[in-house]
Amino acid sequence: MSRLAKKPITIPSKVTVSTTNGMLSVKGPSATLERPIHAAITIEVTPEGVMVAPANDTKLARALTGTFAAHTRAMISGVETPFKRVLVIKGVGYKVELRGRDLVFNVGFSHQVTLTVPEGLEAKVEKLTITIEGADKQKVGQFAAEIRAIKPPEPYLGKGIAYDNEVIRRKQGKKAV
């Protein structure tokens, strides 16, 4: 079993955590998140915090305790302060535009690429920078990965869509003989 799952997860004063009908619900000042609880684990809300324990003594149950402890920590911190991912577009003529709930990309293809921002997330566009914010860590990371997959940075010139803090390994081009 995970060492971090053995310790109770503290609940901040502005956040409420409850478990009903196999669902873990976390409510905070900015959002409400829900996640189904796997049958192999039990989650209890105590005055010390949230306790995650295996329901039986199987390898799956022991593995899921650490996973659900991490999910619970992410949910509690996400409803308190939203998660944020920043992407940067690099390339001559590359641009992005926010039209309602759609992000429209012009990144060197013969056509525009359109992505709809999922529910629960906010997207902001400033010149060549895209900021994704939301309470659900998994949704924020998944949507940022989908944006990056449109045009990943290439190793020769570094053109494409990259995370703000991503280091792109550059390759040397052709050498003149």
Tell me the CATH class for 3-80. alpha beta
Q: What is the pLDDT of residues 128-144, one digit of tens each?
A: 999 999 999 999 999 99
Q: What is the pLDDT of residues 75-90, one digit of tens each?
A: 999 999 999 999 999 9
Q: Is there a common fold for 3-80 and 83-163?
A: yes
Q: How confident is the model at residue 176 (pLDDT cuts 50, 70, 90)?
A: confident
> Which tokens sit at 57?
């003594």
pLDDT of residue 109: 92
Domain residue ranges in the chain: 3-80, 83-163
d(CA 62, CA 134): 30
Residue 15 CA, distance from chain mean position:
20
Fold for the domain defined by 83-163: Outer Surface Protein A; domain 3 (3.90.930)
DSSP 9: B
pTM over 0.85: yes
